[in-house]
Chain A
Amino acid sequence: MFNIERWQEIFETISKNKLRTALTGLSVSSGIFILIILLGVAEGLRKGTKKQFEKDIPTKLYFGGRFTGKEYKGLNPNRKIRLNLEDYQNINKQFEDDLQYRTANIKRYGAQTSYKDKNGVYILFGVMPDHMQLENAYLIAGRFLSEKDLETRAKVVVLGTRIIADIFGGDHKKAIGKFLTINEIKYTVIGVTEDNGGEREDTYMFTPHSTMTHLYNSPNNAGSFQFTVNPEEDYDIALAKADKFGELVVDNLKKAHNIHPEDDKAINFFNALEGGKDIYMVNVGMKIFFWGIGILTLLSGIVGVSNIMIIIVKERTKEIGIRKALGAQPKSIVSMILHESIFITTLFGFIGLFLALGILEFLGPKIETDFIISPTVDFNVAISTVIMLVFAGAFAGYLPARRASKIKPIIALRDE
């Protein structure tokens, strides 16, 4: 492989045929350049969508009671399971370290609401302070429910923006401190929230969970529970953790409520994180897609080089004939063409590689969109493209080289 004489020969040939070399090099450089840029953008896109989806779908888990599906310990099927506050407290106690946000959630439809001469029918929720974080809602005015409201069973309410529009003429500030009558009980308005989820969520009213259970005399019905587990860097770890947590909680609830261990209907468990799996798969698909395009681009580059080498061989038929007449062996012709091809593809491939890496390095951090975040290509990818390059050079050069070695000197030297 390393033969100084041959390298001198190649350098001489290359330097005497600058245009040819430049054209060949350009097609390789641009192939690699496009591949690396594509891979970088794909990586940026992957990070971007991952971040987007992590923001939209936190590691939220939902538990609710339904009807039992199986007979168990003499209890009939189709029994309504109501989760109670004790269940909620047990979960909190057991998973203290894993939980980020928590709330129990009880709701009442058709709540007759009035203020002075204005009235409407909305949905009343009894929730806990973390509810706002869990629903990705944000405050427009006033404050949300506090732990103290919960302890004192305060008759306070937080309203969605739609209700403010209906009843208070859209003036958030004016609503704060007013007394709102809901199902003939007066509540003090303490805050206004808006939800990203949609208009329906803006017709919700939130009152402390304890107030609700107390007023409606249902201490044994805590409604449904929502939790988020502490976030993890890696999607798969987060998913595994959430799944394990959900499974344990469901098992405990089944035990507490005398539910058949294999009855999957009684407890409604929903892991919002699993919905993220689709987005995760989209990411994988995107990666495959970009690699596909990149490799096809590179392939067309290789075909281009191969084509150019074939033309070069044709152009050099006479020269190769002369070389053979002067004593060049077929092997030396093959290695001459191959060497040249590999050298050119590798050299220009590296130029394309470093150019693309440079652009990603300097321009990457400046790209600020929601969907592409710091497009980069990791070291392993760079190395594999380099290996691919050398093979590409060999592949591009091999057929033309073989053809060159088969040239018969008498045909090559025949005078036209």
Chain B
Amino acid sequence: MIQIKDLHKSYQMGKNSLHVLKGINFEVEEGELVSIMGSSGSGKSTLLNILGILDEADLGTYTLDNTLIKNLSEKVAAQYRNKFLGFIFQSFNLINYKSALDNVSLPLYYQGVNRKERFERSMYYLEKVGLADWSGHLPSELSGGQKQRVAIARALASDPKVLLADEPTGALDTKTSYEVMELIQKINDEGKTILIVTHEPDIAEMTKRIVNLKDGLIIDDTRIEPKRASLYV
């Protein structure tokens, strides 16, 4: 599903060049649930931005679902993001003046799906995350866990190939974190490829594979037997 070869990325910080990714090689098969770990400054967020086509690598190749991601115009990048990827953020990033249902249906709006079908499909995903009854509520009326579940429903709405989650439990307490992880595992069980950036070991242990990043290089890549979050809830 994802192939990355010799990926380099530098940022220009004034006169100094900051080499963030120093040659990453990495593959993800369909249906995997991968966690990317590392301390801050290890380059994990940069890697996620590149995977999410929000940023572009300086060197190396990135292939997503057999499509080479290189030198894309903003327009095509937007199309690919919409088609291939679903994002889940630490701070949820819901649009605060839109209801849960409207938030979930936003990716479908940008796909040009008509209003009726948009709401039907969005309702389906809201049901899936257990928030059908909350569809008319604004984000400000939801708890943190509920917001993240709305965000997950939104990420799923466009039926993407890969879900990218950046510290999805970073803003949540432990119990709620496990609830969210339970949902993510459930989605993965249905075959969706999911990448999670996290620095919490207990969250990483709930994934099938832990990739450890340090100073812009992968220092460890281990497949594990995931702990089921449902056991802790």
Chain B residues whose C-beta falls within 8 Å of the C-beta of A330 in the assembled complex: 74-75, 78
Give Cα distance in the complex from A319 to B91, angstroms. 13
Contact B93 A410 (CB under 8 A): no
Contact A325 B87 (CB under 8 A): yes
- A148 CB–B CB distance under 8 Å: no
The residue that B82 contacts in the complex, of A17, A327, A415, with Cβ under 8 A, is: A327
- A118 CB–B CB distance under 8 Å: no
B-contacting 9-mer, from A7-15, A232-240, A262-270, A382-390: A7-15
Rounded to whole Å, the gap between the CB of B21 and the closest CB of chain A is: 14
The residue that A326 contacts in the complex, of B55, B75, B114, B154, with Cβ under 8 A, is: B154
Residues of A contacting B: mostly:
helix
Contact B93 A327 (CB under 8 A): no
Interface residues on B, range: 20 to 34
Rounded to whole Å, the gap between the CB of A371 and the closest CB of chain B is: 52
Contact B79 A329 (CB under 8 A): yes
Contact B109 A9 (CB under 8 A): yes
Interface residues of B in 141-164 (CB under 8 A from A): 154, 158
- A409 CB–B CB distance under 8 Å: yes
Rounded to whole Å, the gap between the CB of A173 and the closest CB of chain B is: 86
Give Cα distance in the complex from A119 to B87, angstroms. 111
The residue that B98 contacts in the complex, of A16, A327, A329, with Cβ under 8 A, is: A16
Give Cα distance in the complex from A118 to B89, angstroms. 111
The residue that A318 contacts in the complex, of B78, B93, B98, B154, with Cβ under 8 A, is: B93
Give Cα distance in the complex from A329 to B111, angstroms. 10
Chain B residues whose C-beta falls within 8 Å of the C-beta of A332 in the assembled complex: 110
- A323 CB–B CB distance under 8 Å: yes
- Map CB proximity to A onto B94-118 as digits: 1 under 8 Å, 0 otherwise: 1101100010001101111011000
- B137 CB–A CB distance under 8 Å: no
- A284 CB–B CB distance under 8 Å: no
Contact A325 B98 (CB under 8 A): no
- A185 CB–B CB distance under 8 Å: no
- Map CB proximity to B onto A229-248 as digits: 1 under 8 Å, 0 otherwise: 00000000000000000000
Give Cα distance in the complex from A352 to B134, angstroms. 41
Chain A residues whose C-beta falls within 8 Å of the C-beta of B93 in the assembled complex: 318, 321-322, 325, 413
Interface residues of A in 322-339 (CB under 8 A from B): 322-332
- B49 CB–A CB distance under 8 Å: yes
Contact A415 B90 (CB under 8 A): yes
The number of chain A residues with a CB under 8 A from chain B is 26
Chain B residues whose C-beta falls within 8 Å of the C-beta of A408 in the assembled complex: 54
- B52 CB–A CB distance under 8 Å: yes
Interface residues of B in 57-76 (CB under 8 A from A): 74-75
Chain B residues whose C-beta falls within 8 Å of the C-beta of A16 in the assembled complex: 97-98
Rounded to whole Å, the gap between the CB of B181 and the closest CB of chain A is: 20
Contact A329 B78 (CB under 8 A): yes
Closest A residue to B95 by CB, please name it: A319
Knowing A5-B109, A16-B97, A326-B106, say if A415 contacts B91 (CB, 8 Å).
Answer: yes
Given A5-B114, A322-B106, A413-B54, 16 other A-B contacts at CB below 8 A? A5-B112, A16-B98, A318-B93, A324-B78, A324-B81, A325-B52, A325-B87, A325-B93, A327-B81, A330-B74, A330-B78, A408-B54, A410-B55, A413-B93, A415-B89, A415-B91
Residues in B lying within 8 Å of A, measured CB to CB: 49, 52, 54-55, 74-75, 78-79, 81-83, 87, 89-91, 93-95, 97-98, 102, 106-107, 109-112, 114-115, 154, 158
A-B pairs with beta carbons under 8 Å apart, 13 shown: A13-B97, A16-B97, A17-B97, A326-B82, A327-B107, A327-B110, A327-B111, A327-B158, A329-B78, A329-B110, A410-B49, A413-B93, A415-B89
Q: Which 8 A-B pairs have the closest CB atoms?
A: A327-B82, A16-B97, A327-B110, A329-B78, A410-B54, A326-B107, A322-B93, A329-B75
Residues in A lying within 8 Å of B, measured CB to CB: 5, 8-9, 12-13, 16-17, 318-319, 321-332, 408-410, 413, 415
